[in-house]
Structure 1
């Protein structure tokens, strides 16, 4: 079988697996994919889906976006934007309203600086998949806990 053009994804996965001190079988089990399939990915014989890459990334505890770039699913600029959005959305110290405001400010700065904003919807869906906590705590009346507006702490 001829090698597919998936960049250095397979080599990178092998390096990450070895640095995590995992056997091929251990990683396959942790990622929920078959051992032969993972071996074929590492050897460049198969091009995995974004879903498989996400599972492998979680098992290796690395960024799924990095694997997406190496597999040719995302370009480098999109990855940087997605990672920024994912970090904001995953931050447990701010509530959902605050996260949305931060994303709007980020988007306005990007737009002001001439960057396209087309990946916003994709970023939200990737970030939602990668985060366990999407919504902040709710009060009994259905509002966000701690969502009252406060000014900066006085010095």
Structure 2
């Protein structure tokens, strides 16, 4: 896998962890867009609308348009995945490496929300869609994603303390 996509996966992991930290107290995530410029500086924008779906749509438009002239960006929204165990709360992570050969991936990070008798939990992320990366590179993409999770000083402990790999 090329190094830029590795950096995109790290960025996705960082902002996915931020999202998990945000929902760990039982609130719905305000859609967020994290981005990185060529020099390495990062930014984040939230899309706070009365309707969460409208915020997610505005975030998707900003991601596709590369509104911040970034080299890579990630949109994280609260949603659901349909797994063999049924409909499951999940953060949907949509990551893009901009450039002449745009590459991207979408992951779902299932979680068990608060309040729940079993308590908050974070489950194993699932690749939903990958464009421009060979299947044999998925493990490397996942490793970079988890390196990004671990890079978030406040969110990584929440993620790791509530990890439930059963799903």
- Normalised TM-score (structure 2): 0.28
Greater strand fraction, Structure 1 or Structure 2: 2
State the TM-score, normalizing by the size of structure 1.
Answer: 0.30
